[in-house]
Structure 1
Amino acid sequence: MKTHDFYYDLPQELIAQTPLQKRDTSRLLTLNKVTGETGHYHFYDLPKFLKPGDCLVLNDSRVLPARLIGHRVPTGGVCEVVLLIDRGENTWECLVRPGKKLREGAKLSFGEGKLTAEVTKVLEGGNRLIQFHYEGIFLEILEHLGKMPLPPYIKEELQDSERYQTVYSKEIGSAAAPTAGLHFTKELLEEIQAMGVQICYVTLHVGLGTFRPVKTEDITDHTMHSEYCMISQETADTINQTKAKGGRVICVGTTSCRTIESWAGEDGTLKESAGWTSIFIYPGYRFKVLDGLVTNFHLPESTLIMLVSALAGRKHVLAAYEEAVREKYRFFSFGDAMFIYE
């Protein structure tokens, strides 16, 4: 399949720049993955489409305030560093700007010297290994000095950083939010549980590679980025029991989907697991566990729209996206949601 097969035309004004005042008032487009039938609702209507015995799988990863603005030492020139992966011994793999100035040995200062750093290696592809020096607890320093690493298509400053976190976020480590979960309120989750739907959690730390465009003409030539993910024994048991009893496993977000599909056995069963995944799901993939998906609207020609197309069919998905454009849905991270089901 060609990358261009997953293109759709999106007016710039439909890219949501800010979150809605109330999370669950976003719109919800429903898509029957078999028939292609669509419907238009609000996110607070989601319980209407869930059944007792279903299981909702959420990604509890929390976004690190990983964007640091500082200065080069001794010149004072401005620099920007985005933390990607903790490589141990106070060293992180990072994105940097300006790249030409931040060569091996470059020294940096953040927060008037509360945090200092040195570039120790330039990696293939342009990322840097940077070793940090500080007194105290690194995460606390980041909370004070760091900013949310918002996607490149969001141009407005975020007023409340908690709006780029899910209400159930717990495990710190993502460079971007698992955005499908941003629509949930605690009250909505309680309503869903009260109707007999099981709720369980996985962890996948979202990397900025999730925004990396597919540059190959043939999608099978694309190399996926790796992300760290975990499934607890409790979650594995809940999902296995749901499947055994004939319930549906509904993932919230492509990250939850990729986690359970990465670790499922050929028979669809799960066990406690942890490690790196680079699973690439596109049409032709046979889902081992997933039955339904709550997801946002994704970028044209992205690996995420390919994943959604694997579940509901490319023609169904592109037709639904064209309908969402006509109906002026809000797109991407702070945008509206879809529920794909059968």
Structure 2
Amino acid sequence: MLQPAGLHHFATRKGRLGLVSPYRPVVEEPWKAAKDVNALEASTSRPPVGRPLIISGDPLASLRGRGTAVSSTTALGRLLRESPRAIAELHEQEIALGIDVVRALTSATTTRALAPIGMAFRAAALTGTAVELATEAAGGAARRVAVAGILGHTAAAPMADRIAEDYAVHAARLAAAGCEILVACGFDPAQAACVGPTVARLARRAAVVSASTTQLATWALVELDGAGRTADGEGFEEVARSALDSGADALLFEVPSVELGLNVLRRLEGVAHEVQVGVLLGAESAQADGTDRVAPAEICDAWAASAARLIEAGARMLGGGTGTTLAHLGALAKMLRTTQRAPLLRRAL
């Protein structure tokens, strides 16, 4: 178990203040003997020592896999209001599986995301609830777990002339609620496809700038299609440059295939050599036939094997993209414990 001894502040490479816990770890498994990477180290210019950070997966798919009826970001907002325990249990299970960064469900708590269900006035309160649920789950873990807030990725995109304002307000709420990391991702891909490319790209930049302004660790999340481009047609190398110029500390790319993820890691070596690059690997949804069922174990194992290839290729953060469930994260955690983590840690040391 980890015994808390208070929280102390220290500055990252950009002078940002973050929290690091001086917990005293008791090693329970051999692979844990090497130094873990914490959330703030993953945002520094020096490559961190230790294993990559493991990030939570697709909350919609995970909740469906647990039997919760939820179909959209809007439905997540209602769930936070009416059944917060379902969200708390999801975070607790994610952490029990071994993730290092839990993503609070704050894409569902913006004013515009809540407007369709008549709860826009609850945006601030539900943002606090979403972060609190993640923070309480992280606080109950016997190790260091960081809490990240999602800035953007709502089902209802802001009006073009309100993008910067809406993101700035939400970023401030996330910081006040206690997030340690802000994951800035602009519009949901479906919304990005419905607006002009200029507006979609403005949203990505505005999300990063708003997150960076809070002085929290800022991770730019970019979702790519099979060709390695965003929904508005921008290539990942251009997106990476723009995000770094806007103040991102680290880059996350959500990809539909391991081949694309490997290509991103290889080609970004010259573009983002001073920051950490991570990958969220998607999975084929088990809900394609409209039923709520868990993906077979062999499918999750194959996904985990693909994800491990990304670690070997240099991914410093790794998580589940669209379609990934707790079963996928469990398969990855099991694989890393038994076959991957120890040699990776030895090489890092």
Band of TM-score, shorter chain: under 0.3
- Relative contact order (C-alpha < 8 Å, sep 6+): which is higher? 1
Rg: which structure is higher? 1
Q: Please, what TM-score do these two structures have when normalized by structure 1?
A: 0.28
Q: Please, what TM-score do these two structures have when normalized by structure 2?
A: 0.28
Of Structure 1 and Structure 2, the greater helix share is in 2
Of Structure 1 and Structure 2, the greater strand share is in 1
